[in-house]
């Protein structure tokens, strides 16, 4: 049979059991900590579940969007191919010569008493010059021949008229009379002149665009360098 001691001393006289108090405090603290741990566990599980569901939502959406992107990528690549091709064609067409216009102008400008025996247009020389210019491989003051006309006229005045008129043709800078030779037409005993005229391109009209393009490219490179800094 257990006995229990009853302390009947007044409160002021009673001895305080400090160890018991400390243990009680510890026990309360540990219990609070335990409860907090349990609550934290539930809370974390809840958050984790929420995160998991959000993540799977995002993953699901992204898979769908990626699928759409893959399907639509073809259109974008097609647009890029078209733009690339357009750029290539633009480059090829750059400084293209239209000889029909020159021939039309010559036909219109030819004096009444003069006619051409031969016409020799040399566009390939201009195209080579432009290629050289792009590579920076041209001599200062170089002239590029445009076309040469050999013909006959009633007199030298007609040749001079023609040489003046030829200057009116677009992109022609210089007209050079190579020779004027007196000729007698056999049989009818008619005196005429044979002539030969060369014309030269105004090269600034062709290189201006290239310079502009180069300057723009240089400015772009400079802008990129500045933005990098």
Nearer to other proteins (CB atom), residue 2 or residue 225: 2
When asked if residue 164 is in the footprint of other proteins (CB under 8 A), the reply is no
Q: Work out whether 135 is an interface residue with other proteins (CB under 8 A).
A: no
Interface with other proteins, residue 75, by CB under 8 A: yes
* Cα 32 to Cα 95: distance, rounded to the nearest angstrom: 88
Q: For residue 93, what are the CA distances in angstroms to 72, 87, 96, 98?
A: 32, 10, 5, 11
Closest CA to 28 of 20, 39, 16: 20
* Cα torsion through 53, 55, 57, 62, rounded to 10: -170
Q: What is the dihedral of CA 168, 169, 173, 178, to 10 degrees?
A: -90
Contacting range for other proteins; rule: CB under 8 A; set: 7-15, 65-73, 131-139, 211-219: 65-73
Given 8, 11, 19, 227, the residue binding other proteins (CB under 8 A): 19
Instruction: Decide if residue 185 touches other proteins (CB under 8 A).
Output: no
Q: Which residues contact 133 (CB under 8 A, 6 or more apart)?
A: 207, 210
d(CA 60, CA 66): 10
**Smallest separation, CB 166 to other proteins (Å):** 16
Give contact residues for other proteins (rule: CB under 8 A). Answer: 19-20, 23-24, 26-27, 30-31, 33-34, 37-38, 40-41, 44-45, 47-48, 51-52, 54-55, 58-59, 61-62, 65-66, 68-69, 72-73, 75-76, 78-79, 81-82, 85-86, 88-89, 92-93, 96-100, 103-104, 107, 115-124, 127
């Amino acid at each position: 049979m257990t006995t229990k001691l009853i302390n009947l001393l007044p409160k002021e006289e009673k001895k305080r059991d400090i160890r018991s108090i400390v243990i009680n405090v510890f026990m309360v603290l540990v219990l609070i900590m335990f409860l907090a741990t349990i609550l934290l566990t539930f809370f974390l599980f809840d958050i984790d579940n929420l995160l998991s569901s959000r993540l799977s939502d995002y993953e699901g959406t992204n898979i769908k969007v990626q699928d759409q992107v893959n399907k639509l990528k073809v259109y974008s690549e097609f647009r890029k191919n078209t733009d690339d091709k357009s750029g290539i064609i633009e480059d090829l067409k750059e400084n293209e010569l239209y000889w029909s216009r020159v021939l039309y102008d010559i036909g219109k400008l030819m004096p009444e008493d003069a006619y051409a025996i031969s016409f020799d247009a040399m566009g390939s020389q201009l195209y080579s010059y432009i290629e050289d210019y792009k590579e920076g491989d041209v001599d200062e003051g170089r002239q590029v021949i445009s076309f040469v006309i050999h013909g006959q006229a009633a007199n030298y005045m007609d040749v001079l008229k023609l040489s003046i008129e030829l200057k009116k043709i677009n992109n022609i800078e210089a007209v050079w009379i190579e020779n004027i030779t007196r000729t007698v037409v056999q049989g009818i005993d008619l005196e005429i002149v044979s002539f030969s005229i060369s014309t030269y391109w105004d090269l600034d009209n062709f290189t201006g665009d290239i310079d502009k393009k180069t300057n723009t490219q240089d400015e772009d490179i400079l802008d990129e360098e500045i933005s990098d800094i």
